[in-house]
Amino acid sequence: MSQFIDFLQTNGEEMLYKTWEHLYISIIAVILGILVAVPLGVVLARMKKGAGTIIGIVNIVQTLPSLAILAFFIPLLGVGKVPAIVALFFYSVLPILRNTYTGIQGVNKNLLESGKGIGMTGWEQIRLVELPLAVPIIMAGIRTSTIYLIGWATLASFIGGGGLGDYIFIG
């Protein structure tokens, strides 16, 4: 216990900075994932053909090792936080996309018919019926994605992204 206290006394400020870095790269990647995956999930739910193919491609990207994805972006984007955020963004998309697609597909078709019957446009149906009913499932995908990214963000230190991974790999 005294070693831990000694560590915090000597490195407490740096530990707070590394924690902030870790959360920063994770949160930015999740926000970017939400901005891309939710609209894409809504569009895929409206598509009759091709949705399965696109989700399949995203599933394949998800199976690639995270360290390999990080290494892939080094020649393209260099080292630092930007390639780490981009790589983590790719990993954030699948859970959010899959849950958005599933949530929109799971909306009761009778409710959509009711909306159409009262004169709602397609956009109004999405905004006022489908998205509100799918929010719990979409949020589950966002939560899953966030948990993944906080764990994977430790690997960002391999490419100079910082975060708590610096302590793990130094130790």
The answer to whether position 3 is within a domain reads no
Q: What is the mean pLDDT of residues 149-167?
A: 84
The pLDDT value recorded for residue 96 is 95
The answer to whether position 6 is within a domain reads no
Taking only the tens place, the pLDDT of each residue in 4-17 is 788 778 878 888 89
Q: What is the mean pLDDT of residues 85-106?
A: 91
Taking only the tens place, the pLDDT of each residue in 34-84 is 999 999 999 999 887 888 888 888 888 778 787 777 777 788 888 888 888
Residue 48 is part of a domain; what is its CATH number? 1.10.3720.10
Using left for φ > 0, alpha for ψ between -120 and 50, and beta otherwise, residue 78 falls in left
Domain that holds residue 99: 11-170
Q: What is the mean pLDDT of residues 145-150?
A: 92
Domain count, the chain: 1
Cα of 121 vs its chain's centroid, Å: 30
Q: Which residues contact 62 (CB under 8 A, 6 or more apart)?
A: 91, 94
Taking only the tens place, the pLDDT of each residue in 131-142 is 999 999 999 999
pLDDT range class, residue 164, cuts 50, 70, 90: confident
DSSP state of 164: T
CA distances from 54 to 25, 34, 98 (A): 26, 17, 10
The answer to whether position 156 is within a domain reads yes
The answer to whether position 80 is within a domain reads yes
